[in-house]
């Protein structure tokens, strides 16, 4: 991936998704993040985000699309067979990059491919290339790293080898490895790590099980989550990743509905694991 001079060691961070209903962005400071990945916020919050970053030395990352001002998140469908949806996705990429530049973001993350049906196989590869050709050029133009986030449901592109093939074609782009999305596929997380470690620039960290995801979404990592019960073995998978990869950010991405205490515990657990991993590195 092209190096734009951003930080090269793991920052323990949080997504703005951890905010509860009605919480202001300043609430994130209680978690003492090194980086905040901003997502799902309206344009009216952008000035508060800029002020927080400037006044508290918090690095920013951005998860597109940002901003959005409607009642529901917009449909981001970069590989849609509907040309209007695909065109709108590129417009959202440009809008997000403008926000990222204003925030001096260390990276921008986009879902790829479409997470939502319909999944139209005919012409999929051509649509994917058309989108990624433009995104790669925009990354160079804005001098901001763009990371593709692995998705779960789309059968047209989801395996470790699928993402490897994409990234081999686009040296300009990197990967945001979403551990939960990987866990929910039929492929072990270890296979994503083995195939993609050298392209992992950021990691989304939360927990889930196949049976709980539809109801509970992204749940905070915790100490009592047993892999035998279907949970992601987040400690083992993160430690395995950190032995072979140097992501610039580890971002907690659980839902705010699980409460602030669970966020504090998740941050504490993540920092402890990273500190332990670093203590084992050769001097």
Q: Give all domains of the chain, ordered by start, each with its CATH number.
A: 11-278 (3.20.20.150)
Q: How much is the pTM?
A: 0.95
pLDDT for residue 67: 93
pLDDT for residue 5: 46
Cα dist from 29 to 148, 195, 268, whole Å? 27, 35, 14
**Is 6's pLDDT higher than 70?**
no
**Is 3's pLDDT higher than 70?**
no
pLDDT for residue 280: 81
**Is 167's pLDDT higher than 80?**
yes
**Is 93's pLDDT higher than 80?**
yes
Whether residue 205 contacts residue 179, with contact meaning beta carbons closer than 8 Å, is answered with yes
**Is 132's pLDDT higher than 60?**
yes
């Amino acid at each position: 991936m092209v190096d734009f001079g951003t930080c090269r060691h793991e920052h323990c961070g949080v997504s703005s998704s951890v905010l509860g209903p009605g919480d202001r962005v300043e609430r994130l400071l209680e978690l003492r993040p090194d980086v905040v990945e901003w997502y799902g916020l309206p344009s009216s919050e952008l000035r508060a985000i800029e002020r927080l970053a400037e006044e508290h030395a918090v690095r920013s990352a951005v998860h597109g699309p940002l901003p959005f001002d409607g009642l529901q998140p917009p449909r981001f469908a970069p590989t849609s067979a509907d040309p209007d949806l695909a065109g709108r996705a590129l417009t959202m990429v440009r809008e997000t990059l403008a926000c990222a530049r204003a925030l001096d973001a260390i990276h921008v993350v986009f879902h790829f491919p479409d997470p939502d049906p319909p999944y139209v196989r005919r012409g999929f590869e051509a649509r994917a290339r058309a989108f990624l050709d433009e995104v790669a050029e925009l990354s160079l133009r804005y001098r901001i790293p763009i990371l593709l986030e692995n998705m779960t449901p789309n059968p047209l592109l989801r395996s470790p080898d699928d993402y490897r093939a994409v990234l081999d074609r686009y040296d300009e782009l990197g990967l945001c490895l979403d551990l939960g999305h990987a866990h929910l596929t039929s492929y072990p997380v270890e296979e994503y790590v083995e195939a993609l470690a050298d392209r992992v620039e950021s990691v989304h960290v939360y927990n889930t099980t196949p049976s709980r995801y539809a109801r509970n979404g992204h749940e905070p990592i915790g100490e009592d989550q047993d892999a035998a019960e279907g949970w992601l073995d987040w400690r083992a998978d993160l430690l395995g990743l950190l032995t072979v990869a140097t992501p610039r950010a580890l971002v907690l991405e659980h839902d705010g509905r699980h409460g602030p205490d669970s966020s504090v515990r998740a941050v504490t657990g993540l920092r402890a694991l990273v500190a332990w991993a670093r203590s084992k590195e050769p001097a």
